[in-house]
Chain A
Amino acid sequence: MTSTTDFQKDIVNTPDDSFLQGVKDCIPTLLGYISIGLAFGVVGSASGLSVLEIALLTILIYAGSAQFIFCALLLTNSPASAIIVTIFVVNLRHLLMSLTIAPHFTRYSMLRNVGFGTLLTDETFGVAVTKQMQTGKLHGKWMDGLNITAYSFWILSCVTGAYLGQWVATPEKWGLDFALIAMFVALLVLQLSSIGKNKIMHYLMLIGYMVVIMYGLSYIVPSHVAVLLSTVIVATIGVVTDK
């Protein structure tokens, strides 16, 4: 095991793009997967899902927000069509993420590309774009290491949560729900710190737009739709205002 500082150095300097390095680069995100996964398992069993159903959801859908919304809609007796459409919209942001990192993997086979896409999540996307910004390249083996580690821990945590059921205390009380937000904050900071000094003001302006647009949209559409729309709008503003 490397210490945290060594690990940080690894992300920045090591040209090592092995499967093992992918596993290592996944470690900082694991607390997020474990806490959210446990919480999902608990919420799932509280919503009346069996351990088998929770495992199926976790293995087949593999998206935290979509899985939570699945439970919420199930509890309100929503029709299947409404559940499927909502899940589609909630996860449509992955289309943008996938479109962003796919151009870095065109040298690999179709099958491997389908594999990279299948295991794409907010977290692995964040780690991958940060790696790409810092090293300029993404490697298949590294991506597999990152993806498979994240996927395994997600399944393990969700199923463990399902077993723990009502016996585990509310994860929110221990601040564990913040793990995900903290990770997005850190990934955002890492993104911004690898952007050149001359462009930083432009990006900060875009984040300003993002705050305003997200706030406005929150009155009109559900928050997951607001995330999608504001990303499309602000990225377009970014292109138009870029010098």
Chain B
Amino acid sequence: MTTSATMVWLIIGCALVTWLPRIIPFIFVRNVKLPEVVLKWLSFIPVCILSALVIENLLDTESGKIVSLDWPVFITFVPTLIIALVTKSLSITVVAGVIIMAAVRFFM
């Protein structure tokens, strides 16, 4: 259970730069009425950011010069997507996804 002053300051620095982007909109939006076009833009953010996060994980940017699919993840992604579409349930999708991923890693 040890640490150094430098490490504590580094962690505090990182904490500040992750905290500010999270809270600034909450403070700012209280005093300013956002224009219609900004609200419209924001309405697209959930689908955009969630799909970006999924795609980020499907791409393999590290093993070669060409960005390709991360095959084990992609092979797991397809049935997981189908399960999500059929069940529309967060918990079933997560549990099924983990089981399929474990199976894919076991056999590949």
Beta-carbon nearest neighbor of A107 in chain B: B30
Does chain A have a CB within 8 A of B11?
yes
Pairwise interchain contact B52-A190, C-beta atoms closer than 8 A:
no
Indicate if the CB atoms of A61 and B11 lie closer than 8 Å.
yes
CB-based contact A102/B26 at 8 Å: yes
Residues of B within 8 A of A149 (CB): none
Interface residues as binary, B73-107 with A (CB distance below 8 Å gives 1, 0 otherwise): 10011001100110111111111111111111100
Give me the 10 closest cross-chain CB pairs, A-B, nearest first: A182-B97, A175-B101, A175-B102, A28-B90, A178-B101, A117-B23, A238-B44, A60-B15, A186-B93, A28-B91
Min CB distance B71 to A, Å, is: 13
Which residues of chain A are within 8 angstroms of B26 by Cβ–Cβ distance?
98, 102, 105, 113-114, 116-117
Given contacts A172-B105, A175-B100, A188-B50, contact A50 B41 (CB under 8 A): no
A167 at the interface (CB under 8 A from B): no
Which residues of chain B are within 8 angstroms of A125 by Cβ–Cβ distance?
A: 46
B25 in contact with A223 (CB, 8 Å): no
On whether A227 and B93 interact (CB within 8 A), knowing A8-B88, A188-B51, A234-B44, the answer reads: no
Known: A8-B88, A215-B55, A239-B41. 8 other contacts (CB 8 A): A28-B94, A61-B15, A179-B98, A184-B54, A185-B80, A190-B88, A210-B51, A234-B52
Looking at the assembled complex, report how far the CB atom of A96 sits from the nearest CB atom of chain B, in whole angstroms: 5
Q: In the complex, how many residues of chain A place their beta carbon closer than 8 angstroms to a beta carbon of chain B? A: 100
Cβ-closest chain B residue relative to A123:
B90
Given A4-B91, A219-B67, is A227 in contact with B52 using a C-beta cutoff of 8 Å? yes
Number of A-B contacts (CB under 8 A): 275
Contact of A103 among B7, B39, B93 (CB under 8 A): B39
> Contact: B105 with A31, CB < 8 Å?
no
Interface residues of A in 189-221 (CB under 8 A from B): 189-193, 195, 203, 206-207, 210-211, 214-215, 218-219
